[in-house]
């Protein structure tokens, strides 16, 4: 008889943990986050930022269904909307525009 309450509370704790991790990742804009064996670095996937918002204080990520996904390996606490990522994506847009202009 004692097993049922223990099972229920374990199941409840596990569900709460998994749900909180999913919501946290979704809030950060991260689609997937897989830590390596050390736990210090992660393989992250998150949507690229919308080009028209790159100059904003807090740019907006594209909808993941658009398929413009960043595949990143680095620190697990990496912010997909942080200054470093904003600068990287601005450089990518600049390079892409210059490349396209050179083809004309």
Q: What is the pLDDT of residues 80-94, one digit of tens each?
A: 999 999 999 999 999
The count of structural domains within the chain is 1
Confidence of residue 2 (pLDDT cuts 50, 70, 90): low
pLDDT, residue 1, reads 52
Q: Is residue 54 part of a domain?
A: yes
- Record the pTM: 0.66
Q: Is residue 2 part of a domain?
A: no
- C-alpha distances in Å from residue 1, one per residue of 8, 11, 31, 90: 12, 16, 41, 61
For 6-26, the pLDDT digits (tens) are 666 665 655 554 444 444 444
Q: Is residue 13 part of a domain?
A: no
Q: Is residue 16 part of a domain?
A: no
For residue 37, what are the domain limits?
A: 29-103
d(CA 41, CA 90): 24
d(CA 89, CA 103): 21
Structure tokens given for 43: 């393989």
């Amino acid at each position: 008889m004692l097993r049922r309450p223990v099972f229920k509370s374990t199941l409840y704790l596990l569900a709460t943990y998994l749900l909180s991790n999913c919501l946290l990742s979704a809030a950060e804009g991260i689609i997937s986050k897989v830590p390596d064996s050390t736990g210090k670095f992660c393989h992250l996937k998150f949507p690229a930022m919308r080009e028209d918002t790159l100059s904003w204080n807090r740019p907006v990520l594209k909808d993941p269904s658009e398929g413009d996904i960043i595949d990143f390996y680095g620190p697990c606490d990496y912010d997909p909307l942080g200054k470093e990522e904003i600068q990287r994506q601005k450089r990518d847009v600049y390079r892409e525009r210059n490349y396209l202009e050179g083809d004309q």
